[in-house]
Amino acid sequence: MATIVDVAARAGVGVGTVSRVINDSPLVSDRTRAKVLAVIEELDYRPSSLARGLSLGHSTMIGVVVPFFHTPSVVERLRGVADVLNDTDYDLVLFNVDSVKQRDERFGVLNRRDRSEGALVISLPPPPDQLRRLRERKRPVVFVDVDVPGFPCVTVDDVEGGRLAARHLLELGHRRIAFVGDPEKGAFGFTSSARRRRGFVEGMKAAGQDLPEGFVRRAPHGLESARAVTAELLGLPDPPTAVFAASDTQALGVLEAARALGLEVPGGLSVVGFDDIEGAAYAGLATVRQPLHQSGAEGARLLLRLLGGEGDAGKVELPLEVVVRASTGPPGDL
């Protein structure tokens, strides 16, 4: 592997000059530049990012923490991050988190300046003690899909999203609408489901609709458990005519339950999800869409700006939008 010294020697110049050529410094004569470039080509020389980083005093790695297990949506966000970062000199260093223990380890790594220049945390609320350390050290960290006070974040207004879902179903004429979401005391402290529920209940109240007893259901995140609680809901003496699920994955479970009971959708049951993952379109699922890919891209841009010293990045709130598909319609329209 050729080094800068080899290139300098072969080109008959000093290493400083080679360095200037590499870094597009204007202080090199065209003649010299051409010569050096030729040698670089000939020797197939590539600067060592390690040595460069050491000399410059910073690395080129950005840590990205992702709970893969959580939902299909985090993958889409990650793609957004990768798309932006791949156009820069930064490398995307990936940390998967599948357990609370792993989460704490990963956040520990983020706190170490030597491993990465900055970090992006996707869909994962930080543990309080690690957060304190992050604050103390003023490490450049951007959160995506989580709102952490004092840190740049890319989020959506989950409460508003809940209201949007309620409004859509109310406008179709539904009155008996149930909610299916996550437990609100999970190990990782995810809170979006709770906020969506709140917005939904608010929206119902605003329209003068109270939720019947037992119409708010919480089950471990996943299609299967959503299916199970929905089966219970539909078995009620006076079942709902519509369900708002806190995520598309859960909404797919709701559809599954309806199908298993031979209930027509949307005639017998209308369903609205949240996220607009790829599978939602296939399933004809109406949903509250949030810009997943864009959230990752925006987060990466925020971090880049922070790293570039361009002041505090602040908060970014992305827009929500109801996507109407075959899974919703007027109640009782068999």
Partner DNA sequence: TTGAAAGCGTTACCAC
Partner DNA sequence: GTGGTAACGCTTTCAA
How far apart are alpha carbons 334 and 314 in whole angstroms?
49
Which lies closer to DNA via its Cβ, residue 55 or residue 96?
55
CB of 309 to DNA, least distance (A): 14
Among 37, 43, 47, 222, binds DNA (CB under 7 A): 47
Residue 19-38 contact track with DNA, rule CB under 7 A, x = bound: xx-xx---xxx-xxx-----
Of 51, 49, 79, the closest CA to residue 61 belongs to: 49
3-class secondary structure, 111? coil
How many CA atoms, within 13 angstroms, populate the side-chain half-sphere of residue 308?
Answer: 11
Interaction between residue 43 and DNA (CB under 7 A): no
Of 77, 125, 139, the closest CA to residue 97 belongs to: 125
CB of 23 to DNA, least distance (A): 5
Interaction between residue 56 and DNA (CB under 7 A): yes
**How far is CA 145 from each of CA 9, 26, 123, 126, 157, rounded to the nearest angstrom?**
52, 43, 5, 12, 10
Among 34, 38, 42, 54, binds DNA (CB under 7 A): 54
Among 37, 43, 52, 102, binds DNA (CB under 7 A): 52
For DNA, the binding residues in 83-142 under the rule CB under 7 A are: 114
Which lies closer to a copy of itself via its Cβ, residue 236 or residue 263?
263
CA 257 to chain centre: 28
Interaction between residue 17 and DNA (CB under 7 A): yes
32, interface contact from a copy of itself, DNA, none, CB < 5-8 Å by kind: DNA
Which lies closer to a copy of itself via its Cβ, residue 47 or residue 212?
47
Of 199, 196, 295, the closest CA to residue 247 belongs to: 196
CB of 2 to a copy of itself, least distance (A): 10
CB of 137 to DNA, least distance (A): 16
Residues near 210 by beta carbon (within 8 Å), at least 6 away in sequence: 204
Which lies closer to a copy of itself via its Cβ, residue 201 or residue 223?
223
CB of 49 to DNA, least distance (A): 8
43, interface contact from a copy of itself, DNA, none, CB < 5-8 Å by kind: none
Strands of the chain (E only): list them.
61-66, 91-96, 118-122, 141-144, 153-156, 177-181, 216-218, 242-245, 270-275, 286-289, 315-318, 321-323
Q: Structure tokens of 8? A: 């300098």
Q: What is the DSSP letter of 100?
A: H
Among 57, 128, 237, 262, binds DNA (CB under 7 A): 57
Residue reference for tokens 């259901």: 217
Query: Within 10 A of 228 (CB to CB), how many other CB atoms are there?
Result: 16
Interaction between residue 308 and DNA (CB under 7 A): no
Side chain identity, residue 291: P
Give residues in contact with DNA (CB under 7 A).
1, 3-5, 12-17, 19-20, 22-23, 27-29, 31-33, 45-48, 50-52, 54-57, 114
